[in-house]
């Protein structure tokens, strides 16, 4: 490895749920932040938020906001998102909440239907952002 290459920097915050496996909340490499997927875990209790897809989406977006803030960036600098849904029938409801966080800036996005998610979450969202 070239000695002038930067090494990845691990970022974390207690304002978002702790990692529930062998991964980091986010990794910064150069000017890019790669955020691990967030599920609707309450950062204080570590428990899943109870409620419908809108309530779970709101918690996910708040968790993402906390991770972005820890990296001193925000939703305006998000480059790409990936949404994982266990039911595509929830797509419109997720978009409704998601759109609140991206009122003008619209990052690239993929939405994927999956069979299951950790802790039986209804959705998971990951983001890549500029810092």
Asked if the structure places residue 65 within a domain, the reply is yes
Confidence (pLDDT) at 6: 81
Would you say residue 62 lies in a domain?
yes
Q: What is the CATH number of the domain that holds 75?
A: 3.30.1330.40
5 compared with 48, residue with greater pLDDT: 48
Q: What is the pTM of this model?
A: 0.94
DSSP-derived pairing of the beta strands 32-38 and 123-130: antiparallel
pLDDT band at 55; cut points 50, 70, 90: very high
Q: Is 2 helix (H, G, I), strand (E, B) or coil?
A: coil
Q: Given the DSSP bridges, would you call strands 78-85 and 123-130 parallel, antiparallel or unpaired?
A: antiparallel
Q: Is residue 97 part of a domain?
A: yes
- What's the CA gap between 15 and 63, in Å, rounded? 7
Structure tokens at 129: 């952002």
Give the residue carrying structure tokens 């790669």.
Answer: 34
List pLDDT tens digits, range 19-41: 878 999 999 999 999 999 999 99
- Tally of domains within the chain: 1
Domain for residue 120, yes or no?
Answer: yes
Q: Using CA atoms, how far apart are residues 49 and 53, in angstroms rounded to an integer?
A: 10
**pLDDT for residue 7 is more than 60:** yes
What is the domain range of residue 66? 24-130
Nearest CA to 74 among 30, 126, 18, 131? 131
């Amino acid at each position: 490895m070239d000695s002038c290459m930067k090494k990845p920097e691990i970022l974390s915050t207690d304002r978002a749920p702790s990692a529930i496996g062998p991964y980091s909340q986010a990794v910064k490499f150069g000017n890019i932040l790669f955020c691990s997927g967030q599920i609707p875990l309450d950062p204080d209790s570590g428990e899943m938020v109870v409620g419908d897809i809108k309530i779970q989406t709101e918690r996910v977006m708040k968790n993402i906001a906390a991770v972005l803030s820890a990296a001193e960036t925000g939703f305006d600098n998000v480059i790409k998102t990936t949404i994982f849904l266990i039911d595509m029938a929830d797509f419109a409801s997720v978009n409704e909440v998601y759109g609140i966080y991206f009122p003008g800036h619209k990052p690239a996005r993929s939405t994927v239907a999956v069979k299951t998610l950790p802790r039986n979450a209804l959705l998971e969202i990951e983001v890549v952002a500029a810092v």
